[in-house]
Structure 1
Amino acid sequence: MSSAPPPPHGGPPPPGRRQRLRARWADRHALPRFGFWLLTRGMTVLAGCAALYVLNGTLIGWADAYEVLAGMTSPAAVRPQWCAWPLSLAGWAAVPAVIGGAAGYVITEQIQAHHAHDLEEVLGELRRLTQPPDAPPSCGSGE
């Protein structure tokens, strides 16, 4: 009639994969502006373009899908056309918009990083730097 010892209590179980992914997705707001934009807006557009490319690659062929996406071939020149036209529009408008948006965010961040400071702020910093250092605290030994 021996009873088994109770299992050691080591705290709550580790979070599962779903909980970790949910926490990471919730932390996206802590990213810099460019990272947040790229993760939320840019990836959405690029995922749509990738889905169109895969659909066209399977229906009209991968080389033709690339040529339609890049604008080298007219969507009217391939069959079926119903899927080539959206791919052509994505290659003409959506992909350059994402690239332009990314470039705009990077340039804006660089400009803001090198933005001129207020004159009073700069003068206050210079005054602080030109002040003599404070005297070190005394040891209190009385000698």
Structure 2
Amino acid sequence: MTQPSSSSPAPRSQRKPLRQRWASRLAGFRSLGKWLWREMKWLLIAVVALFLISGLVIGWVEAYEILVGIRSPSNAKYSVLAWVLSVVGWIIVPALIGAVVGYLWVRKVRDTPS
């Protein structure tokens, strides 16, 4: 009898159940919150605090639009605070998103059997 090749999928009886397969695929998300809090807690706190202060001083809609880059910070009431919020929106927020994606990618590569 011939052996199945290593590239062919495993027979249905040898496969993991669907729940275990999904759990292994999403394993990186379980520890993502812990990793974010452990590694970037002060940066996250600073970004949230800056947004809260800007929301209270400038206005919530305007602070959001400046953070996202929809509105120019030069037209805001408190332009220094708005410029800081704009820089955070252009530099730190994409860096945080990149860090999360990089973390999830490393977890996926590390947990994938070779």
Higher RCO (CA 8 Å, separation ≥ 6 residues): 2
Which structure has the larger Rg over C-alpha atoms? 1
Q: 1:86 aligns with which of 84, 87, 96?
A: 84
Match of 1:109 in 2: 107
Partners of 1:73 and 1:85 in 2: CA distance: 11
Identity %: 35
Q: Give the Cα separation in 1 of the matches to 2:54 and 2:33.
A: 30
Shift of 1:34: 4.7
Q: Which residue of 1 aligns with 2:53?
A: 55
What amino acid is the match of 1:95?
V
Greater helix fraction, Structure 1 or Structure 2: 2
Aligned pair count reads 85
1:99: how far off?
1.2
- Name the SS for the 2:36 alignment partner: helix
Partners of 1:46 and 1:95 within 8 A in 2: no
CA deviation map 1:49-73 (0-9, x unaligned)? 1111111111111110000001001
Residue 75 of structure 1 deviates from its aligned partner by 0.7
What do residues 12-65 of structure 1 show as CA deviations (whole Å, max 9, x unaligned)?
A: xxxxxxxxxxxxxxxxxxxx9755531123332221111111111111111100
**Partner residue of 1:77?**
75
Superposed structure 1 runs of 4+ greater than 4 Å apart: 32-36
RMSD between aligned residues:
1.9
| Aligned-partner Cα distance in 1 for 2:53–2:77 | 13
- Rounded Cα–Cα distance in structure 2 between residues aligned with 1:79 and 1:35: 35
The 8 Å contact of residues 71 and 91 in structure 1, kept in 2 or not, is answered as yes
Q: Which residue of 2 aligns with 1:130?
A: none
TM-score w.r.t. length of structure 1: 0.54
